Structure 1
Amino acid sequence: MPHPEWADFAFDGIGTRWEISTPRPLEHAVRSRLLAAVEKYDGDWSRFRPDSTVSAMARQPGRYTLPSEAAALGRLYRALYEITAGAMTPLIGGSLQQLGYDATYSLTPAGAAVPAPRWEDVLDWDGPVLTTSSPLVLDIGAAGKGQLVDVLAAELRSSGVVSFVIDASGDLLHSGTDPVTVALEHPYDPAQAIGTVSLGSGALCASASNRRAWGDGLHHVLDGTTGRPVSTAVATWTMAESTMVADALATALFFTPGAELERTFDFSWLVVFSDGSAAFSSGFEGTLFT
């Protein structure tokens, strides 16, 4: 925990472990509102729940209205879809299912990799309204957890809690005046660190191909144009004001050089490649161990 003397509120949500650290224990009413926000988000966006809006899209095409946060999520995904020439896409869900990362976590491929459908062929995303022309498996995993962190941060601030750390299994948002030191997990050994970073008020997100891996070379970071796992980068870290943006860019770095992404987004970054080399932006305020 970044502040050992702070109180922790830990819970499970959207398939991962969460810890919210605050100077004083959160009141019961605040905790209840946070848990309700997590449940609402999961009920809208999860492709693993049969009662979610996203699961309804997989069964039948049509016009679906999602909560207001869908507008920002759609704009971000569309920008990254275009920058990466379709490699990063929210339509990757069917490709993930094909390789075994499905609602039952079978982890058994159903056949050869299949590319994601082209956005312009199947989806119109206008603000919070998504109109589909065929059944599709939406997967917002590259940015959704980060967006939910931001949703919970807004709930905390509206409740008068201004100093906190939200840890969504490695995706961090820190709100406060004193920076916290965060270890950067070794991509091949979770018990080791390759360096540290000083996190001020803002978000630090990471993505690694070893985090959700199965089978022979299969993992969750797929190229939408081929449906196959990427193999060059093995781990990325990003720092930005918005956790949603940092989360999405941590995945985008698997497809596009950080310098190119910096033309559109204000963030700092670090990438570790499969050959052991690393690249980072001039603004990445971290220390790598030698």
Structure 2
Amino acid sequence: MVCGGDSKVGDISSIIDVQGIIQDWAWDTFIKDIGYFRRCFIRRKDFVIDVPMNYYQFSHSDAVLEGLNIKSDSKTAPEIGEGMPNTSILATDYHNDTDMEQVYNFRMERARKASVSVTFQKGFTIGGTANFSVCGVDCGLEAKLEVTKTTEQTFEEVLTFETSCEIKVKENTNCEAKVIFTEKEMSYRFTVETTMRMPSGKAPVYIRRKKDKKVMMSWKIQDLRHIFHKYKEEKDPDRKVDFVRETIMLNGREYNNYAIKLTTKGLVEGTKLSSQVVELHAKGIDKKIVPEKKNDVKSPKRKENSVKGNV
């Protein structure tokens, strides 16, 4: 008979769940404290391990973006992290073959959509939910991408372009109005540093029995190092965390505390909307010159009088 509660399968994922780590620590402590004989009848599925995450604060650094090389058949080399722009052109022709200037109303409205996907291979979750953001004005991400999914998360951007103007077309002229839209492919590798700390210097944990909600055991965590020490010594760099020594003020006194530094890495890929340009091109109409017909006036024939003489 195997005692000690439910057996656990070793986790080798590069994405660690900080709430799950605290729950595992609480359960292991609970099993050790209840004694050998009682633990033979304890099953983890019969209990709820409550870790209130509002006692923890997560602060994120700005994302560091590294452009990936995108292969392109074009001779023009794109910027690092950006592919060659895709271009779409909408054109309208105005034909004025009169001898007077004509005025036309030009109006265009179009909704443009682009999407960016974020995936990460290394990092952390809170109860299975991601918690970090990616932003980079230099690569076209003007708004923060708040990532909450552990799978690929897609963000869409919709931009409405509208223009309205009068176009004067001179006499005997063709005019072409073009609206040129461009968008660029982007691919970046990102890194975000997150610091997990306890602002109040302590955080509670409760183990409750499911059938009657009774609290079987509770703790107040005062040092995160005791819980995350295994990940501090982790040989796999993708699962390794660092400790950060900090000083906190409680009741007017200074206390040393340790925060956890977590690193999240992944990819951000997609398209970003680029420019829109309105161009006008005018060209004169070639008219074929028809030669004028000349009216030939024939002069009347003169009668020649021949005078015959004798030689």
TM above 0.5? no
Q: Per chain length, whose mean CA-contact separation is higher, i.e. which structure has more relative contact order (CA < 8 Å, sep 6+)?
A: 2
Structure 1 or 2: larger helix share?
1
Higher strand fraction: Structure 1 or Structure 2? 2
Query: TM-score, normalised on structure 1?
Result: 0.24
Q: Which has the larger radius of gyration?
A: 2
